[in-house]
Amino acid sequence: MKKTDDAEKLAKSVKRLLLIIFLVLAPVFQAAAQESTEAAGASEPLTETMAHLVLQIGIILFAVRVGGGLVKKLGIPSVLGELLAGAAIGPYALGGLWFPGFPQGLFPLGGGSLAVSTELYSFAAVASIILLFASGLETDLGLFLRYSAAGGVIGIGGAAFSFAAGALTGALLLGAPFMDPRCLFLGILSTATSVGITARILSDQKKMDSPEGVTILAAAVFDDVLGIIALAVVLGIVSFLTGNAAGTTLNTGTILGIAGKALGIWLGFTALGLIFSRKIAIFLKLFNSTFDFSILALGLALILAGIFEKQGLAMIIGAYIAGLSLSKTDIAAVVQERIHGLYEFFVPLFFAVMGMMVNIKEIFSGPVLIFGAVYTLSAIAAKIVGCGGPSLLLGFNLRGCIRIGTGMIPRGEVALIIAGIGLASGILDQQLFGVIILMTLITTLGAPPLLSAALKFPGSGTRKPVKDDNSASMVWEFNSDEIADLVIDTLLNNLKNEGFYVQMMNIDEGLSQARKDDIALSITEEESKVTIVTSHVDMPFVKTAVYEVLLDLYEVVQKLKDSSDPQSMKLDLLDKNGRTREDLLSLIKAESIILNLQGNTKEEVITELVDLLALQGKLENRDLTLAAVMQREQTMSTGMQQGIALPHGKTDGVSAMAVAVGIKKDGIDFDAVDGEKSRLFILVVSPRKVSGPHIQFLAAIGTVLKDETVREQVINASSPEKAAELLRKER
């Protein structure tokens, strides 16, 4: 209830704010639009520009959902599907084709170095801020500072080697000096690591808590922070080079001065953010609603992003620092949850816009393919050597070295953001942008099979036995997804209270990791099954933690049983004043009605109705469907009062909601709440993981059958068609 009230208050506040802004700024916008139109002659009026923008955003949202969903079915990260979807509908492909009312296409080429309109790119810029703000919130500062010396050394090695390899490759192939802005950008783009893919593979291979797995995840945190620092320095150097009209040479002293300024700004704001993080959180919490302070936290990220951009550094650096500053406060998890909707809206849009900037003709040209192949190979080799090499000095053998190196190969979101910055600023051209896209695609797609092969090769990755190279796993099978969700949520919360750092490595696939000191837990939820992988010596801790969770939940359930009586609540469920809808009741078909049921027991009647749906091809799996309905019946009888029974269930045995109706004039004992025999049976089955009006249908049909006249007419109907007509009639 409180969340609903908060949402309503937030909605009202936003409406009032938008109205005030509109009233204040409308004359300004109108005057500006008129001046712009007069100055440019044939320029597009503001209303036309905005209409075009909202149409484009709507198309993009559908494209990214379809593209992301399709590639996920192939086991490929959805970000690549969103990127490819953008390329497909962009100005260099379908978006540039003539369309009624859009002679230059739905996504015409933008001006300057951008392939899209300034307005659309502005949305992408906001998306990049949200993405890096969320990344900062998820960063484990404690892990960065304390967790693993090996992770720090390997992260530094990977970043240094990758930057050098990327910049040198650019210098060689472009015939430019090492300090050329293009080479510097190629260097910084080579450092970014996307560890989400690696985490999924480590979990699948039960290696998340192995020495290699823990080291990779620790190194990835260092890699992220070092990449942001390096970007600040590179942007400072690029700003000097591109704005140096006086011809001042870029000597060592100048470079150190620029690096010192960039690092000073980064470290200064980071230190201030961390020192005052609790006070910032206290200030934000003055806005009592969790929605209010979460949105204001994002507002803080936007302000800091603007400040950094004004200082010649990237906006994403300021956004990352804002998230990092709040990452250890008690509002971090709440902010993440509250901005999740914005994240899901904006971030896929960002990747689509990046895809739109890809000139498909250029990317498949000979020079780009050759440059891309060389650059990609250098990026892969740099991670293997830069991350794997130092591991040889830290107790790992050659096998472990290869595993760590391949685990750090994938590039992802941050690389695309930096590439977009380079393209928008004119430092990168379409060919170099295509090279970067190729590198991102190949490293993301190529890393999984390489790492899987390295992990499957038998033998330990360390020279000496560590704490316990052989991991152990425990599996708990619960009766439903809902129970598994509840157990996982409670467990993760308890682990946080124990001082563990908990990270959702892959929300869609139910993969989490919890770490504290040298304890690492890999937690996976697959439907109703929960699996936890850790070392043998830490398994007693895991068992105890799960036991305490189940004990807590058992106590909560007992209190729920003591404070409520579902059986008596059934008496109030049927209400003739309830809402009925024609589209819901239309699910009742004459061919799915049996006027004379043969069954004489509850089990026989339910089986007869399920078999009717199976005979009509409405079930994917008859046995699963029957089991789901019977399981619901065991929880509490669906026998209502006045001769009505509403057996129902959610199951993977159906792909769409289905309804069957049965009549038994003599009635049978269905454990009805009023003790009377049941004569009219409405069976409802729905897909378990697909949203649908399951409860709404039950309420609507209960309203229909509460009318005694209708109920008796249905029971005594002369034909299935007549019964269906009576049941479908909206009241």
What is the DSSP code string of 381-399?
HHHHHHHHHHHGGGTB-HH
For residue 679, what pLDDT band results from cuts at 50, 70 and 90? very high
For the stretch 656-666, pLDDT in tens is 899 999 999 99
- CA gap 542, 630 in Å, rounded: 34
For the stretch 3-55, pLDDT in tens is 445 545 555 555 554 555 454 444 444 444 444 444 444 456 778 878 888 89
Q: Strand (E) positions, 517-597?
A: 519-526, 529-535, 593-594
User: What pLDDT, on the 0 to 100 scale, is given for residue 614?
Assistant: 92
For residue 180, what pLDDT band results from cuts at 50, 70 and 90? confident
Burial of 413 (0-12, 13-18, 19+ CB in 10 A): buried
From-to residues of CATH 3.40.930.10 in the chain:
570-728
User: What pLDDT, on the 0 to 100 scale, is given for residue 1?
Assistant: 43
User: What pLDDT, on the 0 to 100 scale, is given for residue 507?
Assistant: 45
Q: Which residues contact 19 (CB under 8 A, 6 or more apart)?
A: none
Q: What are the CA-CA distances from residue 4 to residues 140, 291, 323 (Å)?
A: 31, 11, 26
User: What pLDDT, on the 0 to 100 scale, is given for residue 4?
Assistant: 46
Contact indicator for 703, 580 with CB cutoff of 8 Å: yes
User: What pLDDT, on the 0 to 100 scale, is given for residue 36?
Assistant: 44
Other C-beta atoms lying within 10 Å of the C-beta of residue 475: 11
User: What pLDDT, on the 0 to 100 scale, is given for residue 684?
Assistant: 92
From-to residues of CATH 3.30.310.50 in the chain:
471-563
Contact indicator for 301, 129 with CB cutoff of 8 Å: yes
Q: What is the mean pLDDT of the chain?
A: 79
For residue 419, which of 369, 361, 375, 358 has the smallest C-alpha distance? 358
Fold of the CATH domain 570-728: Mannitol-specific EII; Chain A (3.40.930)
Reduced to 3 states, what is the DSSP secondary structure of residue 108?
coil
For residue 348, which of 128, 26, 590, 505 has the smallest C-alpha distance? 128
Q: Which residues contact 68 (CB under 8 A, 6 or more apart)?
A: 78, 79, 81, 82, 85, 348
Is 102 a residue whose pLDDT tops 90?
Answer: no
User: What pLDDT, on the 0 to 100 scale, is given for residue 204?
Assistant: 60
Angle at 660 between CA 655 and CA 664, to 5 degrees: 160
Contact indicator for 498, 548 with CB cutoff of 8 Å: no
For residues 560-599, one letter each, b for 16 or more C-beta atoms within 10 angstroms of the residue's C-beta and e for the rest, the string is eeeeeeeeeebeebbeeeeebeeebbebbbeebbbbebeb
For residues 326 and 216, the model is more confident at 326
For the stretch 267-296, pLDDT in tens is 788 888 888 888 888 888 888 787 888 899
- CA gap 223, 256 in Å, rounded: 22
Pick the CATH number of 471-563 from 3.40.980.10, 3.30.830.10, 3.40.50.880, 3.30.310.50: 3.30.310.50
Pick the CATH number of 44-100+111-456 from 1.20.1530.20, 1.20.1300.10, 3.40.50.720, 3.40.50.150: 1.20.1530.20
From-to residues of CATH 1.20.1530.20 in the chain:
44-100+111-456
Is 416 a residue whose pLDDT tops 90?
Answer: no
User: What pLDDT, on the 0 to 100 scale, is given for residue 246?
Assistant: 44
- CA gap 715, 726 in Å, rounded: 10
Note the residue count of the chain.
Answer: 731
Burial of 109 (0-12, 13-18, 19+ CB in 10 A): middle
Q: Which residues are designated catalytic?
A: 648
**Average pLDDT, integer, range 342-351:** 85
What the block records as the tokens of 56 is: 């484009």
Angle at 672 between CA 670 and CA 676, to 5 degrees: 90
Strand partners, 683: 660
User: What pLDDT, on the 0 to 100 scale, is given for residue 674?
Assistant: 83
For residue 680, what pLDDT band results from cuts at 50, 70 and 90? very high
Q: What are the CA-CA distances from residue 342 to residues 123, 128, 336, 608, 702 (Å)?
A: 12, 12, 10, 48, 38
In angstroms and rounded to an integer, the radius of gyration of the C-alpha atoms of the chain is 30
**In percent, how much of the chain has pLDDT > 90?**
13
For residue 245, what pLDDT band results from cuts at 50, 70 and 90? very low
